[in-house]
Amino acid sequence: MSERPIHFYFRGTVQRIEGVSPTRTLLQYLREDVHVTGTKEGCAEGDCGACTVVLGEKVGDALQLKAVNACIQFLPTLDGKALFTVEDLTRLGERTAQLHPVQQALLDTHASQCGFCTPGFAMSLFALYENNPACPDRASICHALDGNLCRCTGYRPQVDALPAAYARPRPHLDRQAVLAALDHLASLPSLEYRAHGQRFTAPRTLAELATARLAHPEARLLAGATDVGLWVTKQLWQLDALIYLGAVAELKIITRDPAGGLVIGAGASLTDAFAALSAAEPAWTELAWRFASTPVRNAGTLGGNVANGSPIGDSMPGLIALGSHIVLQQGERLRRLPLEDFYLAYQKTALEAGEFLRALEIPPTPPGRVFRTWKVSKRSDQDISAVCGAFALQLADGVIHSARIAFGGMAGTPLRARATEAFLTGRTWSRLSLEEAARILANEFTPLDDLRASAAYRRRVAAGLLMRLWLEQDGSAPARLADLEALT
């Protein structure tokens, strides 16, 4: 791949960027380089949503818009995409600026007080507005705003704003012009970018990726930057060589085999991956909604969450409980192994030099299987788990024929509760069996005390989640606050 500048579509033209560090964030570029200051700087870690912008990509023949956090997106990751900021929402009339319906609705519903968070809310709502011809339901609006924090007005006015926006005349976004620009950008060669002694390589095919990875095994693999971005913004790391996975279309493919199993490319976004997992197994839905936030799920990938090796990655317990495998590639060689065998120690995986994660394989749902996965954290949205548990029990004729139970947050790696699994296998499906198993589970792990939870709390929660499984299946008592009926 030959070197070239970064190209992306912004403000009606293709921008050509060179000479900036490959780890310069999009937020720094907007505020400091081109002085587009409507996008605000808050937490610099993708948590507050003040920096939310919208990226456009061509998916099939359509334009897909996604809200992302500008503070942790490295500028070269915009190559080949379209960028929209809060300033782009205003349509210029003959004499005066006219607000976009989303902006006007935020004003009319008194959804802004200090105003610092408002641009981020506007961009999250703009993406939802443009992607949906009809107004989504209230739950979908709330979920779209789960990555935006407000300390002044609360969230009711922001949620009320979107239906009000749909009641106004709809402006015209020239999608064909954006798609034409994206087609032009797609005709450029794969990005090889160098500046300030750093290298950013963005292969577009698996073959290019395999070659680049073998040639530069020391390079850091970069997917959504939702974790690596913080290494730069918070830990001030110097990353000299990056291989970006986000331009490899083959890594984003999700397929379902005739038997009902899923193959999810490692580059599939968390948004797309969880949608596929939830369609195949509805028990994923609650975790999917609570995993990070919409902008983080739009940028981050399932493969990145798995390959990161964090003991509190919320996807891994469920994937392990379902008996998932991963496919690793090194050059032309492929190898396949159970996901639980990928984790060797804290932040250490079985990934070899020159190797990358290509796909995840999730087996089909067998008849009689009970599956649930839950996270426990201090707040519902946008929080790191204290404990994440997953349970897959095979039931037939009132007997537990097999059990796979996995946890995050209970050890240095995601781990199966093998003693509890062995106890349950062959037992009757009953409250007594689950209570006895919960006592075993409460003492099976030796978790750490940290700021998120004490070891004693984690052990108690793990046992409680096993009992929650019984309560949900038995149906004798509500297992969620949302299931409680209002008193009349």
Position 315 pLDDT exceeds 70: yes
Q: Is 90 exceeded by the pLDDT of residue 58?
A: yes
Cβ distance 481 to 410 under 8 Å?
A: no
Give the pLDDT confidence score for residue 474 in this predicted structure.
78
Contact 289, 142 (CB under 8 A): no
Percent of the chain residues past pLDDT 90, beyond the cut: 89
Residue 339 has pLDDT above 70, yes or no: yes
Confidence grade of residue 476 (pLDDT, cut at 50, 70, 90) = low
pLDDT at site 90? 85
Strand, coil or helix: 55? strand
Q: Which two tokens stand for residue 43?
A: 């937490």
Rounded to an integer, the average pLDDT of 148-155 is: 88
CB 190 within 8 Å of CB 202: yes
The predicted pLDDT at position 382 comes to: 87
Please tell me the predicted confidence (pLDDT) of residue 22.
98
DSSP 282-334: GGGHHHHHHSS-HHHHHH-BHHHHHHH--TT-THHHHHHHTT-EEEEEETTEE
Q: What's the pLDDT band for 239 if we cut at 50, 70, 90?
A: very high
| Alpha-carbon span 296 to 261, nearest angstrom | 26
Query: What are the backbone angles phi and psi of residue 357, rounded to the nearest 5°?
Result: -80, 125
Q: Looking at 22-26, 168-172, 226-230, 476-480, which range is the least confident one?
A: 476-480
Contacts of 279 (CB under 8 A, 6+ apart): none
Question: How confident is residue 152, by pLDDT bands cut at 50, 70 and 90?
Answer: confident
Residues 131 and 65: beta-carbon distance below 8 Å: yes
* Order of strands across the sheet that contains 387-396: 369-376, 387-396, 399-408, 415-416
Kindly tell me if the per-residue pLDDT of 481 is higher than 70: no
Quickly state the pLDDT bin for 3 (edges 50, 70, 90). Answer: very high
pLDDT at 477: 62
- Does pLDDT of 92 surpass 50? no
| Residue (of 328, 355, 329, 358) closest to 341 by Cα position | 328
Which pLDDT value is given to residue 488?
61
In which band, very low, low, confident or very high, does the pLDDT at 298 lie, cut at 50, 70 and 90? very high
- What pLDDT does residue 238 have? 94
Please state, as a whole number, how many other Cβ atoms lie within 10 Å of the Cβ of residue 369.
Answer: 18
Question: Each residue of 82-111: b (16+ CB within 10 Å) or e?
Answer: bbbbbebbeeeeeeeeebbbbbbbbebbeb
Distances (CA, A) of 378 to 38, 385, 408, 430: 31, 8, 15, 31
**pLDDT score, position 95:** 43
Could you tell me the pLDDT band of residue 154, with boundaries at 50, 70 and 90?
Answer: confident
Q: Do 17 and 61 meet the contact criterion of CB atoms below 8 Å apart?
A: no
Decide if pLDDT at 94 tops 60: no
Q: Are strands 91-92 and 348-349 parallel, antiparallel or unpaired?
A: unpaired
Is 60 exceeded by the pLDDT of residue 128? Answer: yes
Of 155 and 95, the structure prediction assigns the larger pLDDT to: 155
pLDDT digits (tens, 9 = 90+) for 395-404: 999 999 999 9
Given a cut of 80, whether residue 483 has pLDDT beyond it is no
pLDDT in tens, 407-418: 999 999 999 999
Confidence at 478, pLDDT banded by 50, 70, 90: low
pLDDT at residue 91 greater than cutoff 70: no
Q: Give the neighbor-by-neighbor strand order of the sheet with 82-84.
A: 13-17, 6-10, 82-84, 52-59, 62-69
At 93, is the pLDDT very low, low, confident or very high (cuts 50, 70, 90)? very low
In order of start, what are the domains of the chain with their CATH numbers? Answer: 6-87+175-244 (3.10.20.30), 101-166 (1.10.150.120), 251-362 (3.30.465.10), 369-474 (3.30.390.50)
Residue 265: band (very low, low, confident or very high) from pLDDT cuts 50, 70, 90: very high
SS3 (DSSP) at 135: coil
Residue 385 token pair: 């788990």
Q: Are 395 and 429 in contact (CB under 8 A)?
A: yes
Confidence of residue 259 (pLDDT cuts 50, 70, 90): confident
Q: What is the pLDDT of residues 346-368, one digit of tens each?
A: 989 999 999 999 999 999 999 99
The Cα angle at residue 471 between residues 283 and 281, in degrees rounded to 5: 10
Residue 152: which of 51, 72, 37, 50 has the closest Cα? 50
Write the DSSP symbol of residue 148.
Answer: -
pLDDT tens for each residue of 205-215: 999 999 999 99
- In this prediction, residue 208 carries a pLDDT of 97
Contact 191, 79 (CB under 8 A): yes
State the average pLDDT for the chain. 94
Are the C-beta atoms of 245 and 301 separated by less than 8 Å? yes
pTM of this prediction? 0.95
Do 328 and 262 form a contact (C-beta atoms < 8 A)?
A: no
272-292 tens-digit pLDDT: 999 999 999 999 999 999 999
